Structures are given as structure tokens and as C-alpha cells.
Chain A
Amino acid sequence: MLGLERLLKELQHRQLEEQTRRHFLLECVSKMGGLALAPLLFSCESNPKIPATQQVALSQRTLNPLSPQPPPHLPKAKSIIYLHMAGSPSQLELFDFKPELVKYDGKACPESLLEGRKFAFIRGVPNLLGPQSSFRQHGESGAWVSDYLPHFSKVVDEVAFLKAVHTDQFNHGPAQLFMHTGSPRLGRPSLGSWVTYGLGTENQNLPGFVVLTSGGKTPDAGKSVWGSGFLPSVYQGVQCRSKGDPVLYLQDPKGISRDLKQNIISAINDVNKLEYEQYGDPETLARINQYEMAYRMQIEVPEVMNINDEPAYIHELYGTKPGEEAFANNCLLARKLVEKGVRFVQLFDWGWDSHGTDHSTAIDLGFRNKCNEIDRPIAALLMDLKQRGMLEDTLVVWGGEFGRTPMQENREGKTMGYKGRDHHVEAFTMWMAGGGIKNGSSFGETDELGFGAVSGKVSVHDIHATILQLMGFNHEQFTYDFQGRPFRLTDVEGHIIQEILA
């Protein structure tokens, strides 16, 4: 008995010998650090204490974060096709007809307009630049559209124009981030991510949020414009390649059967589930889900992403260029994806930054070629959605990240060889069509030079609030808890633009 006691004592002594002062201090530091870290980590998760019905019931979705969810309120649209013209097209050559600007062409810009304002490239006092296109009224609604868009002119009655949108960012990257995430700085979820977070994906074999790019480059703001920000990364946009295989490695490797592949994936996912049970990191779930989604996508993607099966007259309508990277192909794909239940299709077309520094960015040359690239596809998309009855519950949004100045750009204060316009934040045109939109309407007016808004001025937040409303969300209640506070897409702003709602 005495022997055993002595033995235990010695064991304890030996163990304590191992525990040096350094060990003790190290332990203290790491544990204290852990205490401090814990709330930081937990703050990344949605706060379960908030019982609001608006908060998406994550518990049901823990294992399948993309499972479909009904919207909080009755929606007017179930899908969105967002056409973003990266670089920002000139509203003054397309939709905002300013006959007065013709008269002032070549005259110096009134200094009162320039006072206290900054432009990206314009310096000193620039000259005004009259519209380079000719305008006519179209359709029953009598909307003014220029001869740069002869096909779009035929579908104006499907569209509601916002003629006095303003933003507060005059550089592409921040302005694109603002337009798509509601903040000019990195870190916020994109509109598509919010919608996918709120609604999931209807088709379990396809992602809820697909991104297609054209024009040779991706947007200046990078992939953050379709990023998920602080939302779980499973909600970020899935970028499909615009040329060649839309999704790489979709075919099984030689010698691997589909059954074998399924076994591999379920084994990996079992391990990942253990990992999740231990650490509770939502990113693990995103990984599990991505494996499963990739497996399921093999069924649907080859069919839905293949435009070659479409009949010839559809190709003619859209003006597709099979095998190439083209905005027209992407428009047709957008329709096919929405038809298959994809919630949010985001198209980016690069090349709209018409400064007039060379032929390709001249407002009367390269810009016009860009117009030709999108005119037919956009008109075709609206017509195709219409003939299939899809325009009833699909919202189509068109716009850039800002507008262009009524003044001709004078880079470094010098007159330039080509006609171009600088970035303009005060007022520019966007349009929406489809589910819940009052078609054939127009809201907002600019002054006689097209410089600023005189009525119906709407902000980027207002557009977001309106889009969320159409999708069945109250933008003030649709929140996600992060870093200890609920976040909204519209932050603390946003008013629904009732004037363009049916």
C-alpha cells in the first residue's frame, strides 16, 4: 500500500517536472488567447438568438446550404439575368436623348457644373460633346433610343428605364463593387450571393448563381463582384468558361466509372462531415456541398451549357458565334440556365470604357462596334424570354457601373484625337424588364445637358432594394449576422422604386 502511494507520488512528481515555467506560461497564453479568439470566431456564424423569420433557417440547411428556400414574401420574379456592361456605356449615345447638348457641342462646359467635382481624367474646363448618334422614339411607350441599338428599339415596350441613376464611385473597380455588393470596398457579398443565400437553387444539379463573361477580360473589380463576402463561400457565383468546355474536367477520367466516383466522393464527404462535427466550420460544409454539386453537375451541365442543340432560328435570332467567346452565346446560355431553374445569371461584357484614347474606345467608332455586339443578343434575349412566357417571372437588369460625361474627355487637359467621354457618376441610365416591372415606363430625368438628375434620382441601394423586393425579400429585414451585427445588402439605405413596379 505504501509502495503504491509512493509510486503515484513519483509519477505526479515526474509529470510536474515536465511542466516547466515556460510550459506554464505558454499554456496561459494560448488559453487566454483562445478565450479572446472564441467570440471572434463565433461571430462569423449567423446568430441563432435572432428569431426573425427573415433569417434563413440555417439549421435545416446545414447539410445542404443550397437547398431551395421559399422567399419571405410573395415574389414577382424567381430568377434574375443581370447584364453588366463593364466599363460603363454612354447613356448619352443610347437612351438619354439631349437635343440641347447638340447645340452646345464643342462649347466650353459651364464652370458651375465642374465646381467641386472630380473626374477620372478630365482636367480644367472641357468642351461639351453632343450626342454622336441620332435618336428616335420607339414603341407604344415612345421611348427614345438611338440608332446605335436598332434591334433593342423593337423591344422598348418590355422595358422600364431608370434615367437618373447615380453612384458615388468614379473608378471602375470600386464602382463595380458598389453596383454588385452595395459597398465600394471588398468584403461584402454580391447581389447574386444574397439571392442564392436566401433562396438556394431550384435545380439540385446546377448551381444557383452562374457567371458568364465576354469581351476578352473579366471586370476590373475582379471576382469579388460575384464573391460571397462574409456569406459561406458556397453562395458565390460559379464562373463558367465562355469558350471551350464551360466547366473543366466534367468528363470522368478514363477507367473511372461513375459508381466508383460516387464512392470516392461519399468517402471524402464522410471524412469532411467528421471534420465539421469536430470544428463546426461552415466552410467544411461548403466543401462537402461542392463535391456533391460537381458530381451532380455532370448530369445536367453538358446539356444545359451546350448551345449547339438549339435550333438554327434561335442561333440566328441571338446572332451567336458558336465556339467563340461571345456575349450573344452568353445571352442564349442565360436563357437556358434560367429555364433550368438557375436563380441568378450574371453576365459581364467587357470593353465599354469609351474614353476616346484610340479607335476602339472612340464613342463613334469602337463604342458603336460594342453596341453591335450586344444589340441583337439583348433584343433576342427579351423576345425569347417573352415567347416562352419566362419574362413573367424572370427579371432582366441592364447597366454599367456608372455613366459617361456630357463633356468630351480632355486627358491631361489636351484635346484628343478621338471622341470620348469620361466616367460620370451624377446621372446615368439603367433599365429593367420582366417579372414585376412596369413595362414601357421610364422614371427619372436629367437636365438639358444630361449632367445631373432633375427628378427621379435613384441610388445603387435603391436598385438593390427594388430587386430584392421583386425576389420576395424586404431589404431591411434580409440580414446576415457577421462580426457581431446584422448586415444588409442595402446597408442603412435603399428605397424601393415603386414608379417602375407593375
Chain B
Amino acid sequence: MAILALIELLGRMHPLLVHLPIGFLIFGIFLIFYSKKENDLLPAVRLAVILGLLAAIASAISGWLLYQSEGFAFETVRGHLIAGVITSILSGWLLWVSHRRTAIDRSIKWISAALGIALLITGHLGGNLTHGDDYLVEVLPEPVQSWFGYEPEAPKPIALDPDQWQEALVYEDLVMPILQQNCVSCHSPKNKKGGLMLTSIEAIQQGGENGPVLTKENPLESPLIARMLLPLDHEDHMPPKEKRQPEKAHIELVKAWIAAGADFSKTLGAAGIEKNLLVPFFKKESIPDFPITDLAPIPVDSLKVFAEKGILVEPISLDNSLLKVSCINFSAFTDADWEMLKGISSHVAWLDLSGTAVSDSLMVHVAGLPNLTVLKLSNTALRGILLEKLNANTNLKRLYLNQTEVDWNTLEVLKTHPRLMGLFAYNTPASKSETPDWAKKWGIKLETGGYQLPVVETEKVVY
């Protein structure tokens, strides 16, 4: 055991030892090309090269031990190994030649040049092994990266369809991407730490040098999960402390997968994974709050006319050219005042005419606002007879008709509206009558209010 440990330790000295030959040999090569008078530096060159050779041999041996004990695949280390051996051979040759010559001649220079190149290649390939082969390229700007043939890989987000999550495959669509994000950088054919690969179904079933990593239906007995749940400071904790730690939702899902039998082919529905574990993986709704347009902003000066009249017209935000219109300080607004808004009709996204004197026939004009998203018509005398015109407002999401005279008959025309998501009809003839079946099944946020809070016993008690 002690010898094994010693061998392993020696192997781990490799990253330290490799710097010696690099230093000695570069120094020797430097002396060879630096010497102007032909022979005065030759003894120094010999000394540098012999030290370099010894260090190169020590590095090669420790490198071999490291490769044996750390579970690297041969394909990964091949280039570095061959280059390292060549470096050792070249430095031996250089030593031999330098002892046979009395002055630095062309053959010494040629060999040392070749040695320099071999050293560079060995060092670079070795560096790639420890830091990853994109280590140097990574820091460069993206276009430069692609010259080198590295296409920066966007992390693949896990995105389940919230409506059809039951159909997704538990291993392929979730567990595999989770392992890829959190484990595979060390447990792949390239870098088989602990003899474990998590890149294929067979390899996962096979486990690592300490045996299998999965105990079916018992996640806490499965090293795959158990090690992730160990305290961060525990030496067996995975991923190692200094690496990025998996999100809680990721661990929970893998846990649920093992608990459900660690099946590699079932769908989420068939495996019986609970929906609440999946919510973090659902695709995010990407419908923007307001339509994306390329409209040019309306100059601030041309909005002054509205301010003078008491109508608030301002961009919905400084980085958006759509407009918000509010008559909160101009309740005298009537249909006749619509003329004023004509110049900005393509820009109006938010229109608040609550509490004004508008009538139903205004809907004909409102229908001509292509980007209208929020329309507030509460506290008006509207009966809703022309609401079908609003079906032309394909961006309309929220419609406020509180305290108006609308009823279910007039509202029904909106049933086919292409975008409507919220309709507020609190304190209207509609809210005071029974909600018809078609409205119950509408599938939008339909608010008729009328909430009450019945008195509870404890609220009357004085404690």
C-alpha cells in the first residue's frame, strides 16, 4: 500500500517536475544561440543539457506513473507522451554531440532547434491536459476563437414544454444533460477520474473503480447522489469543492430518477416524476410584455400639445418608442378628441381612458391602433356593443371594463380574440349575473370580482 501511495505521489509530482527540463533546456538552447565566440560557452551548454536530460527523464517517468494512476485514456495523453519521449531523446543526442565537439557548430544548433520545437509541443500538449484544450483560446474574442476552429459552445439549456412534459424522456432529456453540465468534464473517456465515465448508459451502469454508482430505487445509497449530498467540505463530496456546484433542482431530479428505478428509456410520465420537480426545467414564456417594433421614436417636442391639454403621453420606457397615453387629468375626453391621437396611432401601446366621456363608437378608432397592448376603459358609460372591433387589435393583452355597462352578450364577441390574456369586468352587469359556461371555459384571466371575506370568530376577539 505504502509503495502504491508513493508511486501515486510521484506521479502527482509530474506537473511540478516538468518545469525543470523546460527551464534547463531552454537555458541551454539560449546559450547555444547566444555564444558569439564559438567555444567559450560550451561547458555551460553541456551542464545545462545534462541537467535538462535528467529532469526530462524524471518528468517522463512521473508522467507515466500519473497516466497509470489517474485513469487518463491513452488517446488523450498519446501526443504529450510521444512528444515527451522525443524531447528526452533529443536532449540525450544533444548532450552526446556537444561532448564530441570542441566548439558550437551547425549540427549542435540544428539539434537544439529541433529540441526547442519538441519542448514547445510537449509543454503545450501537457498544458492542454491539465487546463483543457480550449484554455488559451477561451480568453480570445469570439471571432478569433473561430479562426482557431473553436466554436464557443453555448450551454444547452434544458427546456421542457410545460404542456407536454409527460412525453419527455427522463434520461435523454433531463438526466443526461444534467450529468453533462455537472459531471462529465471529469468523468468522460478523456478524463476518467476514479475510473468513472458518465457519458454513456453502459458506462453509467458499469460504475467506477469503487463499484457501481447507482442503487436502483435507493438514491441515498447511490454514490452518484450520496456524494453530491455530502457536506461541501467532506473529501468525498462531488463535484469537488472548487468546481461549480449543481443546482438543487438538478440534484432533486436525479434523485427522483433513481428513486423511480433509474430507467434509461422511460418518459417522465411513465417514470412517475412529479411535476413540481420539473417546474425549474420548463421553458420560460418568451412573449414580450409589449410588441417588438422598429418604429422611430416620436420627438418629445411634438408631444407637448398633449401636455398642454392635460393628456399624459410618454414613451412606455426610455428605451422604447411605443407610447403610453393616459387621460387621468383630462376626464373631459370625448370621441371628438380622438383626432388629436391620430398622429401617434401606430405608437400607442397603453391607452387609459378610464373615467372619461367616451362612447361605444370610439371602438372603431381604437381598432386602428396596431400596437395597443393595454386598454383601460373603466368607469365609462360603455355598453360594449362595438367590442368586436377590438378583435382587430392583435396585440391587445389586457382590457379593463370595470364599472361599465358591459354584459356577457357584448363580451362574447371577444371570445375569438387572438391575443387577449386578461379581461376585467368588475362591477358591471356581467359581474352581477351568472358567468356563462363559455366564459368559464375561456382560458384567459377573466376577473369579475365581487370578493368577500366572511367574518371569522377570532377576529372579533380582543385578546
Contact = CB atoms under 8 A, between A and B. Distances in A.
A72 B318 contact: yes
Interface string A119-138: 00000000000000000000
A150 interface: yes
B289 A74 contact: yes
A74 B402 CA distance: 25
Nearest to A362: B463
Interface string A143-154: 000010011001
A218 interface: no
Interface string A336-362: 000011000000000000000000000
A369 B463 contact: yes
A406 to B, nearest CB: 22
Contact of A340 (B248, B319, B328, B456): B328
Contact of B424 (A364, A372, A389): A389
Contacts of A365: 463
A73 B456 CA distance: 44
B328 A375 contact: no
B419 to A, nearest CB: 15
Contacts of B402: 388-389
Given A154-B453, A317-B451, A389-B398, A472 B329 contact: no
A46 interface: no
Contact of B326 (A341, A383, A386, A389): A341
B290 A74 contact: yes
B447 A389 contact: yes
B447 A317 contact: no
Contacts of A384: 451
B458 A372 contact: yes
Q: How many of chain A's residues touch chain B, expressed as a range?
A: 35 or more
A75 B314 CA distance: 14
**Majority secondary structure of chain A interface residues (helix, strand, loop or mixed):** loop
Given A376-B453, A376-B459, A70 B329 contact: no
Contacts of A251: none
Given A387-B426, A387-B447, A73 B453 contact: no
Nearest to A300: B329
Contact of A203 (B300, B329, B422, B448): B329
A150 B456 contact: yes
A73 B317 contact: yes
A204 B318 contact: no
A383 B451 CA distance: 7
Interface string A449-474: 00000010000000000000000100
A317 B453 contact: yes
Contacts of B315: 70
Interface string B389-406: 000000000101010000
Contact of B463 (A203, A364, A380, A383): A364
B418 interface: no
B355 to A, nearest CB: 9
Nearest to A299: B329
B41 interface: no
A204 B447 contact: no
A202 B398 contact: no
Contacts of B300: 60
A205 interface: yes
Contacts of A341: 326, 328
A372 B328 CA distance: 35
B3 interface: no
A259 to B, nearest CB: 19
B452 interface: yes
Nearest to B319: A73
Contacts of A74: 289-290, 316-317, 319-320
B317 A472 contact: yes
B449 interface: yes
A229 interface: no
Contact of B459 (A151, A204, A313): A151
A430 B355 CA distance: 35
Contacts of A68: 312, 314
With most chain A CB atoms within 10 A of its CB, the pick from B289, B314, B320 is B314
Interface string B292-320: 00000000100000000010101111111
Contacts of B400: 389
A71 B318 contact: yes
Interface in A199-237: 202-205
A369 B328 contact: no
B453 A388 contact: no
B63 to A, nearest CB: 43
Nearest to A153: B456
A455 B453 CA distance: 35
Given A202-B326, A388-B402, A380 B289 contact: no
Given A74-B290, A368-B463, A372-B458, A313 B318 contact: no
A70 B462 contact: no
Q: Which among A202, A366, A387 has the greatest number of chain B C-beta atoms within 10 A?
A: A387
A192 to B, nearest CB: 19
B426 A69 contact: no
21 contacts: A53-B318, A53-B319, A69-B314, A70-B324, A72-B318, A72-B319, A74-B290, A203-B329, A205-B329, A317-B452, A340-B328, A364-B463, A366-B463, A372-B458, A380-B453, A383-B453, A387-B424, A387-B447, A387-B451, A388-B424, A389-B447
Shortest Cβ-Cβ A-B pairs, 3 listed: A387-B449, A389-B424, A383-B451
Given A70-B318, A387-B449, A389-B447, 18 more contacts: A71-B317, A72-B317, A72-B318, A72-B319, A73-B317, A75-B317, A76-B289, A151-B453, A313-B452, A341-B328, A365-B463, A372-B458, A375-B459, A386-B451, A387-B426, A387-B447, A389-B400, A389-B424
Interface of A: 53, 60, 68-76, 147, 150-151, 154, 202-205, 313, 316-317, 340-341, 364-366, 368-369, 372, 375-376, 379-380, 383-384, 386-389, 392, 455, 472
